[in-house]
Structure 1
Amino acid sequence: MAYSQIITLSARIAENTAKVNHYLAANNLPQPSFGIDAPLQSLIPPTEPDIAAARQAVIHDCLELRQLMLGPKEHLSSFQHNELVSQHVILRFRLAEAVPIGGETTFKQLGIASGLNEAQLRKFLRYAMAQRIFTEPRPGVVAHTAASRLLVEDQGLYNWLRFSTDDLWHAACRTGDALAQFPGSEEPNETGFALSNETSKDMFHFLSEHPQRAERFAAAMRFFTQRPGLEPVHVVENYAWEAIREGGTIVDVGGSHGIISIELARQFPSLNFVVQDLDEPVVRYAEQQCPSDLSGRVQYMVHDFFEEQPIRGAEVYFLRAVLHNWSAKYAKKILRALVPALKPGSRIILNEPVIPEPSQVPPEMAARLRANDLVMLELQNGGDREMVDWETLFAEAHHGFRFHGGKKPPGSNLWILEAEWAG
């Protein structure tokens, strides 16, 4: 009798789990757990790609096996609208900070500290406990798990989760309303984010008027960009920067603090860099933080990338995770603003997501990629693009662009895409 898919999956899960377990045991590493002193992330280093792949396979296969075992009807009803509600309350009322790490408190004490009704608070925390956030060692007593402890000790994660529950979640809830109210819109101020904040402004202009939320957003983005797969090394080592003429200039458009330019400047001392960003406080802070040995070759300037590019004749104009924030209408406007500055042979290098065709990735990875795509729609009417969309974007922006495609460096979440100005 031929093996069914569920048997194949369960056997593969067992095989790959054994690989991970053997690696942990052989290297005297602790087993995965949510105990308060448990490892906070995977202990498998990038130098062990086979073991890392086995771990990812377990995650993907467990998801598929669960879906098959549920079946279509139970699968559809398994999605929970309350998935983030406990996190939202915990973060908003800073409940994690009211629980001593390594100690205990009670629901009553947490209610007094937070001003929340004890009976209501208990509902939220017990739902969170079902998600391994906090534990109840004895009835009425609350203590930390490794997950809830992170909400106290990891400020970057805290800011990211606040942004997720206060901004992204609310924007997602109103996106259907935005689609009904503004059908087919490419405008960045006709979105779920705009409706959820009762504003006629796009997200960036709205945040500029709310400094506290803007700082939280900036902190959340700093945390997000520190995830594995977004390291500057993927850009530094996977493009022929050494082929650029000595003394050549690279313009880092929308480059914020210039982390990519700084790394490139260290590796390629014959090149010069100009980092541009619209936010003047960010630019001035970045100037102060730039390593002194690079200050002559890494310069900063305030520039709105919708306006004509002031640095003319550069060898490369580099944009990292910029265009996916914008609909095709505005992405083309950003590219067209470069045109007056371009010389024949100038390169446009993008470091952006590229969405693969549905059959090219496992369901769990596809869901994550598509979720990121939806985030850009919910916030700005932007979105991630398939390769054919990138080709179309350059073709429609100007007939002088020649799109050469790109590649995804091993271990990177972003592709390196290249277009050339032919005039």
Structure 2
Amino acid sequence: MAQVLLDLIELMSEAAQRIDTTCKQKNVAFPTLDGPLDNASEAIRRDAEVAASIDILAAAAQQIIATARAPTRTIFDSVYAFHTSSALRTAAAVNVAEVLRKSGPKGAHVDDIVEGTVVAPSKLARVLRLLASQHIFTEVAPDVFANNRVSSVLDTGKDVAELRAYPEKRYDNTNGLPALIEHGLDTFYKAGPYMTETLTDPATAASDSPNEAPFSVALRTEDDFWTWLDRPENAPKLHRFGVAMQGAKSLVPEGYIAQGFDWNELPKDATVVDVGGGTGHVSMVLAKEFPHLKLVVQDRPMTIQHGIQYWQENMPEALASGRAELQGHDFFQPQPPRNPPPALYMLRFIVHDWADSYAARIMRVLRDAASPTTRLMIIERLVPYACDVDEGALGIPGAESTLVVPEPLLPNLGIVSLNCYFGDFQMLNAVNGQERTLLQFKNLFEMGGWKLDRVYRMPGFTAQLIGSPA
């Protein structure tokens, strides 16, 4: 009998039927892999029921493969998965997606793709065939490749001649995703292989110092990632990183910040301090949605200069009226005094950059500046366990996950939650930081002098964690 396979196939079939029903109701076709990425047709994936069904379908499909195939195949596919990253990096460097954009569905022969480069066409064919076998590009004829919906994500949207003539402008005026992809395939990709050495070396195994992370070991530098990135010789990588972060922000809808926590609970003229808030694009959402609030955006002085320009271009009246203030500040240093103290401090995707000892220092600085009624909001991903766990037992309102996972799927939906774990490894390898489970956040709040009072779970694995002074 192969009942587990039949059960998984049934889950997939039911999920596909739900997706089909929604598509018919909305009179839209579900996007296929054929052809380039079309953002308008991607809207159906953002439908809540469709998104939930996609998760079930993907989790079941992955589990079918792991169940049906020999264990050795699964292990060795994982062992050699790094070749896919290498192939992607090569495809990006050769501007394959941009070349194929112009050739359309008929594709282009590798001889034409490499024209003007030193790359051997026969070697590029092998690179692209590996990717096409994983549905990244399409091989339409022997050694002839075309873009598909997945490979189009690599496309900067620029002309190949422009990219070759002005490589320093490669990421300017793009959606940021190519920069995010190529940042991951360059700087952090090189750090990954050194994780084992860093974790098993007695000199670094127990360290939580940012400059003893695998990144620093791999690049043979005494700098942490942030210091290294600021070096003059790394200016192109710093620029790419800045654009990459804009791309990362585009993957999280800005409106999420207005959900969950009831911002209308805060009194008129209450001050919200967005600590490490970048240029303040999220605070701008709050300024528009909740005009009774005062917003203070804090970040490094260089970032704040860009932020002032951003606000002057998009919401100058908030700066002129004093409703919005942009302030250069190091979040490890004491907060500038305010009278009255802020109603809320917000740390949005900040503490994942730091190990507990450093993250608690940041939070302790905010606790020292807080009034008894000041609240702390941390917005981060909550890492799920790969086993069943009752997080409601923590006694924190909103802690219990609302995710209902049918058997025999993994409780974390397997492949669906991989992005959380990849992000966690990214933080570990780059800066000795980490994504955290809910229990780890509860402990971190206590280390920083706060009490975790409430959890607002957002779509995906993101959450607003609300604390009060302990």
1:215 maps to a residue whose letter is H
1:146 maps to a residue whose letter is R
Give distance in 2, aligned partners of 1:240 and 1:24: 33
Aligned positions of 1:125-136 closer than 5 A: 125-136=128-139
Establish whether residue 267 from structure 1 lines up as the match of residue 289 from structure 2. Answer: yes
1:263 maps to a residue whose letter is V
Give distance in 1, aligned partners of 2:135 and 2:144: 15
Query: Where does residue 354 of structure 1 map in the other structure?
Result: 382
Residue 27 of structure 1: CA displacement?
Answer: 4.2
Contact (CA 8 Å) 1:387, 1:405: kept in 2 or not?
Answer: no
Change (3 A) 1:105 1:33: same
1:129 maps to a residue whose letter is A
Computed over aligned residues only, the root mean square deviation of the Cα atoms, in angstroms, reads 2.3
Change (3 A) 1:143 1:232: closer
Establish whether residue 307 from structure 1 lines up as the match of residue 310 from structure 2. Answer: no
Paired residues, what number?
414
Establish whether residue 331 from structure 1 lines up as the match of residue 354 from structure 2. Answer: no
Query: Where does residue 122 of structure 2 map in the other structure?
Result: 119
Contact (CA 8 Å) 1:98, 1:113: kept in 2 or not?
Answer: no
Query: Where does residue 345 of structure 1 map in the other structure?
Result: 373
Query: Where does residue 14 of structure 1 map in the other structure?
Result: 13
Change (3 A) 1:246 1:37: closer
Give distance in 2, aligned partners of 1:28 and 1:37: 21
Give distance in 2, aligned partners of 1:179 and 1:350: 28
Residue 26 of structure 1: CA displacement?
Answer: 5.1
The alignment partner of 1:382 has SS state of coil
Give distance in 1, aligned partners of 2:416 and 2:99: 36
Give 1:226's match in structure 2, choosing from 240, 245, 250: 250
Percent sequence identity is 23
Give distance in 2, aligned partners of 1:37 and 1:87: 17
The alignment partner of 2:112 has SS state of helix
Query: Where does residue 365 of structure 1 map in the other structure?
Result: 416
Give distance in 2, aligned partners of 1:376 and 1:388: 19
Give distance in 1, aligned partners of 2:23 and 2:378: 38
Query: Where does residue 217 of structure 1 map in the other structure?
Result: 241
Residue 353 of structure 1: CA displacement?
Answer: 1.6
Give distance in 2, aligned partners of 1:117 and 1:225: 37
1:323 maps to a residue whose letter is V
1:336-373 deviation line (CA, Å, top 9, x unaligned): 22233222221111111222333242222343322221
Give 1:253's match in structure 2, choosing from 275, 291, 295: 275
Greater shift, 328-337 or 361-370, is seen at 361-370
Query: Where does residue 191 of structure 2 map in the other structure?
Result: 171
Residue 375 of structure 1: CA displacement?
Answer: 1.4
Establish whether residue 44 from structure 1 lines up as the match of residue 68 from structure 2. Answer: no
Residue 287 of structure 1: CA displacement?
Answer: 1.0
Query: Where does residue 86 of structure 1 map in the other structure?
Result: 87
Give distance in 2, aligned partners of 1:387 and 1:38: 36
Give distance in 1, aligned partners of 2:439 and 2:154: 41
Contact (CA 8 Å) 1:32, 1:38: kept in 2 or not?
Answer: no
Greater shift, 323-332 or 121-130, is seen at 121-130
Change (3 A) 1:6 1:253: same
With normalisation by structure 1, the TM-score equals 0.90
Change (3 A) 1:101 1:303: farther
Residue 412 of structure 1: CA displacement?
Answer: 4.9
Establish whether residue 421 from structure 1 lines up as the match of residue 442 from structure 2. Answer: no
1:217-259 deviation line (CA, Å, top 9, x unaligned): 12222111221xx323222132122222222111110000112
The alignment partner of 1:137 has SS state of strand
Establish whether residue 283 from structure 1 lines up as the match of residue 293 from structure 2. Answer: no
Contact (CA 8 Å) 2:36, 2:147: kept in 1 or not?
Answer: no
Greater shift, 92-101 or 256-265, is seen at 92-101
1:374-396 deviation line (CA, Å, top 9, x unaligned): 11111111101122222222222
The alignment partner of 1:136 has SS state of strand
Q: Which runs of 5+ in 1 are unaligned?
A: none
Contact (CA 8 Å) 1:16, 1:58: kept in 2 or not?
Answer: yes
Give 2:426's match in structure 1, choosing from 375, 396, 404: 375
Give distance in 1, aligned partners of 2:279 and 2:109: 44
Change (3 A) 1:407 1:349: same
With normalisation by structure 2, the TM-score equals 0.82
Residue 10 of structure 1: CA displacement?
Answer: 0.7
Change (3 A) 1:141 1:6: closer
Give 2:439's match in structure 1, choosing from 388, 391, 397: 388
Contact (CA 8 Å) 1:321, 1:351: kept in 2 or not?
Answer: yes
1:113-160 deviation line (CA, Å, top 9, x unaligned): 221123322221222222333333333433333333342255422112
Contact (CA 8 Å) 1:320, 1:350: kept in 2 or not?
Answer: yes
Give distance in 2, aligned partners of 1:197 and 1:94: 26
Contact (CA 8 Å) 1:33, 1:39: kept in 2 or not?
Answer: no
